[in-house]
Amino acid sequence: MNTHPIKLVVLVCEAALEKPLCADVKRLGARGYTVVDARGAGRRGERDGSWDEDRSIRMEVLCDAPTADAILNHVQAAYFRNYAMTVYTADIGVLRPEKFGPS
């Protein structure tokens, strides 16, 4: 089947950032996002989700390349210094590209 190339941006971070991040990615042009609860460990220690402040989320955003860049630049400037956060991107393929294009 013919898929269209698009960017996947994945942000793994403290649950406290969920609300601001949702607003951020929409403002920067993403059409939508998916958030799931997460557990894990990293440079800032183990986050086992046993307590509100220990909860983490994983947010996935599908968008075009300029929007992905805008999101990366923004989270790097706004959150990297003070929050536990991992961000990565991937080139993937989707059906119905108009669903994820610039809004």
Give which of 51, 46, 40 is closest to 10, Cα–Cα. Answer: 40
- What is the Cα–Cα distance from 45 to 75, expressed in whole angstroms? 20
- What is the Cα–Cα distance from 74 to 56, expressed in whole angstroms? 20
Count of residues touching another protein (by CB under 8 A): 14
- What is the Cα–Cα distance from 94 to 62, expressed in whole angstroms? 9
Minimum distance, C-beta of residue 82 to another protein, in the bound complex (Å): 4
Minimum distance, C-beta of residue 40 to another protein, in the bound complex (Å): 16
Nearest residue (CB) to another protein, 2 versus 45: 45
> Is the separation of the CB atoms in 93 and 5 below 8 Å?
yes
Nearest residue (CB) to another protein, 33 versus 79: 79
43 binds another protein (CB under 8 A): no
50 binds another protein (CB under 8 A): yes
Region binding another protein by CB under 8 A among candidate stretches 25-33, 57-65, 67-75, 78-86: 78-86
- What is the Cα–Cα distance from 15 to 53, expressed in whole angstroms? 8
The residues of the shown chain that bind another protein, judged by CB under 8 A, are 14, 16, 19-20, 45, 50-53, 78-79, 81-83
